[in-house]
Amino acid sequence: MNAENNRDESLHLFIVLSRACEWVTAHAHRDIRRHGMNPTEYAVLELLYHKGSQPLQQIGGKILMTSGNITYVVDKLEQKGFVVRKPCPEDRRVSFAEITEKGRAFLDEVFPQHREAIEAAVAGLNAEEKREAIVLLKKLGIAAQESFK
């Protein structure tokens, strides 16, 4: 394979991957909005639901969001009664976000439906193809991350 064909295939892969991501994400976002949340609010709440209390300063990195937006999102989740802030006893500069019982009950109800929406979005692949895609996309992501440094 010559270098020109490799460049063309790389560009084609980028376009196909971007479009697939866009449409799968559209399914997820539509489902999240049905429940009166935006995708960032849902991502923060889901992180706290699955991983427990988190320092505000670290949430952004875990959900691929800027830290400035996290304060705003946590404020909105607090207003809905889904999250509370707790000060760190060892370091008063650090605050934790913690899911409330109301937030946990909300996700107990909507997460199974959200899982079904994701399953529908990726139903174009069978189980074996999904496993292959996971392996290949992890490999691609790791290589892209390492070459970015």
Q: What is the pLDDT of residues 88-120, one digit of tens each?
A: 888 888 899 999 999 999 999 999 999 999 999
pLDDT band at 65 (very low <50, low <70, confident <90, very high): confident
Mean pLDDT of 122-134: 97
Neighbouring-strand partners of residue 95: 87
What pLDDT, in 10s, does the model give residues 30-56? 999 999 999 999 999 999 999 999 998
Block residue for tokens 């802030």? 85
In this model, does residue 61 exceed pLDDT 80? yes
How far does Cα 58 stand from its chain's mean position? 14
Mean pLDDT of 111-135: 96
For residue 142, the model assigns a pLDDT of 94
Name residues whose C-beta falls within 8 Å of residue 148's C-beta, 6 or more positions apart in sequence. none
In this model, does residue 1 exceed pLDDT 60? no
Instruction: State the pTM of this model.
Output: 0.82
Closest C-alpha to 121, from 31, 18, 13: 31
Phi, psi (degrees; rounded to nearest 5) at 71: -60, -45
SS3 of the chain: helix, strand, coil, percent, to 5: 75, 10, 20
% of residues, the chain, pLDDT over 90: 77
The tokens describing 119, both together, are 């399953």
Q: What's the chain's average pLDDT? A: 92
For residue 89, the model assigns a pLDDT of 85
